[in-house]
Amino acid sequence: MTMGRRLGLFLLLACGGVAIFYGTGYALKASGSPDFRALYYGTRCLLQHHNPYNENELESVYRREGGERATDSVLQRQVVTLYVNLPTTFLFVAPLAMLPWWVAQGVWLLIIAGLFLLAGWLMWRVAGEHAPGVATLLICLVLINSEVIFAGGNSAGLVVGLCVVAVWCFLKERFVTAGVLCMAVSLAIKPHDAGLVWLYFLLAGGVHRKRALQSLVLTAVLALAAVVWVSQVAPHWMHDWGSNMAAINSHGGMNDPGRVSAVSHDVDLVIDLQSVISVFRDNPQIYNPVTYLVCGAMLLVWLIRTVRVRFSQTSAWLAIAAVVPLTMLVTYHRPWDAKLLLLTVPASAMLWAGRGATGWLALLVTMAGVVVTGDIPLVILSILGGKLHRTMTLPGKMLTTVVIHPVPLILLAMSAFYLWTYLKRAEPDYGRMLDSRVAESF
């Protein structure tokens, strides 16, 4: 390993260490990671043969086991007791739910930290083959701005890590069995995070389609086992789960992207495209169709291109870089889900190695996406947003969009840029030309 690579690895570990230290420190100071509390006590409820999707039954278990704190607000308690995770999540949390709370939380955060660092390292290795400096810069920006993943203990940290590892295994054709398992688990826990990435491998054909189908079969087996388990304990769980989903997604609920939601005054806690459109028309019958129209059109172009293009490493990374930001826009997501942008770093490095204006655009748009979804910049924007005087005039709404909701706009720009670059691969021999220019840069 050269001195430059040693320095890059040191920076990666240092940035990851800072995020883990401050994130876990906050979790300990706050008496636990709130998102993991929901997973832990929901699974405890099921293990005790109660319905975790019934708010009253879950709250009873939560209080009886000392999970509720005197300082908990109504919203904080609702995060735990209004359980909305898929039944498959129980399968993976159950071994931890048998342990005392503090031990379970420590193991959970250790697993997330290990997977997240591994994911960052793998993307650094891939991108570093083309542009080591760009790879180090972008990966470090992601890692050092990931405190909330460890503070909250959200399952997104696990899903992002597993999805990134699976992509590396599939494209590098190494540890493929582990890759299939990682993709299956990520789909089982958060299909709205890993789903479009999985779809790429299904459409890519050949051995990659085989890996995607293997992952799907394993996901189906896990889902069936989870549904059978939950149905035996709580026969009416599906109705209760639907009611919980309706409650948090309803107009004014926790996941509502509109101005009247519980998080409407927080900077980009909901990062889908609906949150931007709702600034101008806070009506689900308006912002949902517009979002689906915009994202659907881009996804359709991406699908057609993916089916027609001949597979190569270059086209694969560009396709993934185009669809990952789009994943965040089409439906409900939060900033910690956007750590999946790790998968855009190899494409950025490849384009940078090709030189020219496209390389600069790739670096700038990817850096903008990584920075604006980072924890530290979002805190700064939150402070600025708190001082913003919002008006109902068009200029006021535009200013609100830029200050309060910059993430969806930049993610849309990222997806459009990488989709445009992906389409350019249709030029004769362009992929080989780029690969040759990359090879010359070594």
Say which residue, 62 or 223, is predicted with more confidence.
223
How many C-beta atoms surround the C-beta of residue 416 within 10 A?
A: 15
Res 377 pLDDT > 90: no
- Type of residue at 376: I
Q: What are 132-153's pLDDT values in tens digits?
A: 999 999 999 999 999 888 888 8
Tally of CB atoms within 10 A around 293: 10
Which pLDDT belongs to residue 435?
47
Given a cut of 70, whether residue 437 has pLDDT beyond it is no
Residue 39, judged by CB atoms within 10 A of its CB (0-12, 13-18, 19+), counts as buried
CA-based R_g, the chain, Å: 22
State how far the Cα of 302 lies from the Cα of 128, in Å rounded to an integer: 26
Q: How far apart are CA 31 and CA 353, in angstroms?
A: 46
pLDDT tens digits along 21-78: 988 888 777 666 788 988 999 999 999 999 999 989 998 888 888 776 645 555 566 6
Nearest to 42 by CA among 75, 74, 82: 82
DSSP assignments along 319-378, one per residue: HHHHHHHHHHHHS---GGGGGGGGGGHHHHHHHHHT-HHHHHHHHHHHHHHHHHTSHHHH
Task: Count Cα neighbours of 359 within 13 Å in the Cβ-side half-sphere.
Answer: 14
Predicted pLDDT of residue 428: 37
- Name which of 103-117, 165-179, 228-242, 266-280 the model is least confident about: 266-280
434-to-119, 136, 211, 315 alpha-carbon distances in Å = 26, 22, 27, 11
Share of the chain above pLDDT 90, in %: 60
